[in-house]
Amino acid sequence: MSNIAKQIVAMSPNTGNTNKGQQMASTDKHWQLLAQSSQAIWAECKGTSVYYVRISKDVVRFKCSCKSRYKPCKHVLGTLFLYQKHPQRFAFNNTPVWVRNWINTLPKQTHQTFNEKALASQLLAKQKKAQERVQLRTQGIWQLEQWLLHLIEGGLAQTHVQTHEFWEAQASRMVDSKARGLAQRLQQMGGIAVAAQQNWEQKLLEAIASLYLLICSYKKLPQLPPLLQADIKACIDFSWRVGITANTPVVKNTWRVLGHYVSKASDGVISAYTYLQHPKHPIALLLQFWHENQAAPLLFRVNQCFEHALQWYPSNSPLRVALVKPLPVKNNITLNNTSPTGLLSINNMLNNYAQALAANPWLTNYPVLLSNCLPMYQSGIAYIQDENLQTLPVTFKGDIWELLAFSCLQKITVFGLWNGKQLNILSVWRDTTCMVVTQ
């Protein structure tokens, strides 16, 4: 890879965008127009629509008509890769109005050539932006620490503690500080306080203690082992991409969707959690993001299967995966109507959870697949029972009698998320019939 290509890769916001840009540059089907002038290069790129790309010759400024939240987007990267490999394909043409109007908004340029020096300048700008992001995140975490100390000093009996606004205001500050994972934890803590169920004070104190441990660990981040550093960064901001490199092992298999749910943040960013299974690998979490004003990516339904290559993010307790290439087209998706195979013993599951929790003390939602379980409901408590008569409390969004009726007093397979106290059921199977719980 040439130095210029390496610097184009360094401009990319993530590996996925880099791969998409390289794929676009390797084929002719996307490009309707390729041209340049002494000041800029531009392209018309055909996808779901026609996107108009313009890039200044110093590669400091660029613009695309798509609505991607990534800057630069895959269309800009694809244009750069193509120009770096085949500059002769960009003919010197008269500058169209949409490019000329954009050039007129730019300040005087110091570089007018596409070269390593220009790309190095862009790379330095990106590094400076990354440093500013770290500073903003660090400042936000320090403010959160002071806020937690004041909360404990004042006590949980304060009336505003049990209001939604109290927690949501602090969560919004964490979103602004690029610490979306902390914002999610604050929202969960607010849910505990507002619901005010039995022993809510103890549950809230446990959550506060876990959050404070996370803050203290972040302050000592350079002194910790690399895998623990990766876990801490992921807990603080799960969009913080760390650790995946070209040397990260690639696992290609046919993956089955066990369950999924979608959540929306206060700033309009939507997160889709999709849990995947292959018998030879642990359950994997595919996490996708997009803004509410953007088109949603390809999402899967429970029981759908697809063949794809994944890479696990580095972690003491590996769970989250990244896509090596874009998701497959719908024609490559099949259905599997048989019940997935899970653990038969609740004790074995709890032992696995204990090991995962010891490796990552901030683990909140542990994916669990249990087979041959019998759902029960007694004295207002719902639970499942395994073959050894061991029981596990569960939560079911909706009427618990729907779950009991679905089982027809037969053993079922259950997939859900274990939080250390209850199993939040996402999907269940009885023989070849599946029921998905809407979250």
- Per-residue pLDDT of 53-105, as tens digits, reads 998 876 667 889 888 877 888 898 898 888 888 888 888 888 888 988 888 88
Give the three-state DSSP class for 323. Answer: strand
CA 262 to chain centre: 11
Q: Residue 146: pLDDT above 90?
A: yes
Name every residue whose Cβ is closer than 8 Å to that of residue 292 and which is 6 or more positions away in sequence. Answer: 264, 268, 269, 270
Q: What integer is the mean pLDDT of 296-309?
A: 81
- When pLDDT is averaged across residues 44-48 and rounded to a whole number, the result is 85
The count of other CB atoms within 10 Å of the CB of residue 198 is 7
CATH of the domain at 353: 2.40.50
In a domain, 179, yes or no: yes
Q: Is the pLDDT of residue 21 over 90?
A: no
Overall residue count recorded for the chain in this entry: 439
- Whole-number pLDDT of residue 1: 45
* The amino acid at 10: A
pLDDT computed for residue 123 by the predictor: 66
Residues 6+ apart with CB under 8 A from 81: 5, 8, 21, 22, 24, 25
Higher pLDDT, 261 or 120: 261
340 within a domain of the structure (yes/no) = no
10 Å Cβ neighbour count for 58? 21
Classify residue 123: in a domain, yes or no.
no
Which of 335, 355, 380 corresponds to the end of one domain? 335
Residue 78: C-alpha distances to residues 11, 45, 46, 86 (Å): 12, 9, 12, 12
The pLDDT tens digits for 158-203 are: 888 888 889 989 988 888 888 888 988 998 898 888 888 888 889 8
Please check whether residue 259 lies inside any domain of the structure: yes
State both tokens at 250.
């690639």
> What's the total number of domains in the chain?
4
Closest residue by Cα to residue 429 from 255, 257, 298: 257
Q: Which of 54, 83, 114 is the last residue of a domain?
A: 114
pLDDT given for residue 3 in this prediction: 55
108 part of a folded domain = yes
Determine how many CB atoms are found less than 10 A away from the CB of residue 40. Answer: 23
User: Do 221 and 141 reside in the same domain of the chain?
Assistant: yes
Name the residue range of residue 154's domain. 130-236
Q: Do residue 101 and residue 195 come from a single domain?
A: no
In this prediction, what percent of the chain has a pLDDT beyond 90? 23
145-154, 186-195, 293-302: which range is least confident on average? 293-302
pLDDT digits (tens, 9 = 90+) for 341-351: 889 999 999 99
Q: Are residues 224 and 270 in the same domain?
A: no
Instruction: Supply φ then ψ for residue 199, to 5 degrees.
Output: 60, 30
Task: Tell me how far the alpha carbon of residue 57 is from its chain's centroid.
Answer: 34
Task: State which of 314, 335, 356 marks the end of a domain.
Answer: 335
If we measure between CA atoms, which residue out of 53, 143, 33 comes closest to residue 94? Answer: 33
Phi and psi of 188, rounded to 5°?
-65, -40
- How many Å apart are CA 102 and CA 99, to the nearest integer? 5
Torsion of Cα atoms, 396 then 397 then 403 then 404, to 10°? 70
Taking the alpha carbons of 189, 192, 196, 201 in that order, is the dihedral positive or negative?
negative
Average pLDDT rounded to a whole number, residues 279-300: 80
Same domain, 8 and 96: yes
Question: Does 316 lie in the same domain as 255?
Answer: yes
Is 320 inside a domain boundary?
A: yes
pLDDT of 115 > 70? The answer is no
Residue whose pair of structure tokens reads 């509410």 in the numeric block: 292
